Amino acid sequence: MTKRIRSKIARGSAELAILALLAEQSLYGFEISKRIEERTGGVLHFTLASLYPMLYELEKRGWIAGRWEANQAGRDRRYYCLTPTGKKELVPLRREWNFFFQALDCLAGVTNA
Amino acid sequence: MPDWSAVVRDRLLLLDLPAKERQEVVTELAAHLEDLYEEEMRKGLSEPEARENVTSELVRWRKLARDIHSAKLTEGIMNARTRQLWLPGLVSLATSMFFLMILIQISMQPRYLGRSPLQMVLLPWLALLPLCGAGGAYLSRRGGGYRWTRLAAGLFPTILLFVLCSILVVTHLLVPAQPRLWYGSLAVALGIVLPTASLLLGSLPFLRSRGHETRSVIS
């Protein structure tokens, strides 16, 4: 049970992280993992095995869309962008996580830890 | 620089997707490894060190193939359990029962009436069962099933028979005054062994992984 909850939390937070990044600009897989790592100070780290199944899952749901484009070095990379559906989904997702953290803070005082 | 496309292609042999989609996944993952490798080199690592760091991403390929497969697959009315176990298992069961029924029908033809059921039904059925086991295990593998799921799908007919037999045995223990039931359940229990072996024979080729997706060292 604990493992399932942890897994769901990790999955949910990964979805939020990816959608929030793609709301700012289109990125390809490697850039997404680098940005997340940089901006969370290395707390969140995506490996190849954790990132791509998640991207494909979000793409299947229609929240993000991928297309092949040349990057700055002229190499073809698959850039992902947020779709209108993804933008809609991001709003309640952010709100849910906000509630979740507030609730956790009330209970465990995690903000001042 | 290592040929990352070849590395990924080699390890994702298990990934069961349409050719174009599969190629796209291979290209994308190879590009990721290529970027990672170049970044490691930019940090000042030597080529073997960079390669080793990238290699650390290359573990659990079988799981990755399964995760990508299930992420890409449009589930529709079938979930993973149905695709990997129930449907292949039912195919194995249905084909085994179909063969048995046909063999019984043939043995009842007037010209075969003098022959023994062992010769006319049981032995030909045992000879056909590997096909049923192979069908079940193949469909389960195609659906992305684990090795044990593939095995269960291949042996589904005898697993079901075993469950029924166990119910008979338990019934006998609860109602001891039925000697026929006891002998009947014992006979069925013994009859499970040979069909299981036969189904297993057909399932075996599909229990192995395709290719070398578990290798962790890049040559």
In the numeric block, the tokens 């229609």 are attached to A62
* CA-derived radius of gyration, chain B: 25
**Phi-psi category of A69—alpha, beta or left, where left has phi over 0 and alpha has psi -120 to 50?**
beta
Cβ–Cβ of B64/A53 closer than 8 Å? Answer: yes
Are the C-beta atoms of residues A80 and A64 closer than 8 Å to each other? yes
- Measure B148 CA to nearest chain A CA, in Å: 22
Write the burial class of residue B46 (CB in 10 Å: 0-12 exposed, 13-18 middle, 19+ buried). exposed
Q: What is the pLDDT of residues B63-103, one digit of tens each?
A: 888 888 888 876 555 677 888 889 999 999 999 999 988 88
Q: Which helix (H) or strand (E) element contains residue A77? A: strand A76-82
Least trusted range by pLDDT, from B106-120, B143-157, B187-201: B106-120
**B93/B131 Cα distance (integer angstroms):** 11
pLDDT of residue B1: 75
Are the C-beta atoms of residues B85 and B140 closer than 8 Å to each other? yes
Q: What is the pLDDT of residues B6-58, one digit of tens each?
A: 888 888 776 777 788 888 999 999 999 999 999 988 988 888 888 888 888 77
pLDDT of residue A8: 65
Q: Which residues of A touch B (CB under 8 A)?
A: 28-30, 33, 47-49, 51-54, 56-57, 60, 75-78
**A44/A61 Cα distance (integer angstroms):** 23
B63 contacts in A (CB within 8 Å)? Answer: 49
Q: Please tell me which of the candidates A29, A33, A49 has its beta carbon nearest to residue B64.
A: A49
Domains of chain A by start residue, with CATH: 2-108 (1.10.10.10)
- Give the residue from B1, B8, B24, B32 with the most A CB atoms within 10 Å of its CB, the best one to mutate: B32
pLDDT of residue A65: 94
C-alpha distances in Å from residue B171, one per residue of A90, B116, B159, B168, B187: 57, 31, 18, 5, 15
Q: Is the pLDDT of residue A60 over 50?
A: yes
Q: Is the pLDDT of residue B187 over 70?
A: no
C-alpha distances in Å from residue A41, one per residue of A38, A45, A105, B110: 5, 9, 22, 82
Asked if the C-beta of B71 comes within 8 angstroms of chain A's C-beta atoms, the answer is: yes
List CB contacts of B206: < 8 A, sequence separation 6 or more: B134, B137, B138, B140, B141, B150, B154
**A97/B198 Cα distance (integer angstroms):** 54
If you average pLDDT over residues A37-59, what whole number do you get? 88
**A11/A21 Cα distance (integer angstroms):** 16
Are the C-beta atoms of residues B134 and B203 closer than 8 Å to each other? yes
Asked if the C-beta of B25 comes within 8 angstroms of chain A's C-beta atoms, the answer is: yes
Q: Is the pLDDT of residue B156 over 90?
A: yes
Closest CA to B139 of B189, B73, B95, B84: B84
Name the E strands within B20-104: none
pLDDT of residue B135: 94
- Measure B174 CA to nearest chain A CA, in Å: 36
Q: Is the pLDDT of residue B125 over 70?
A: yes
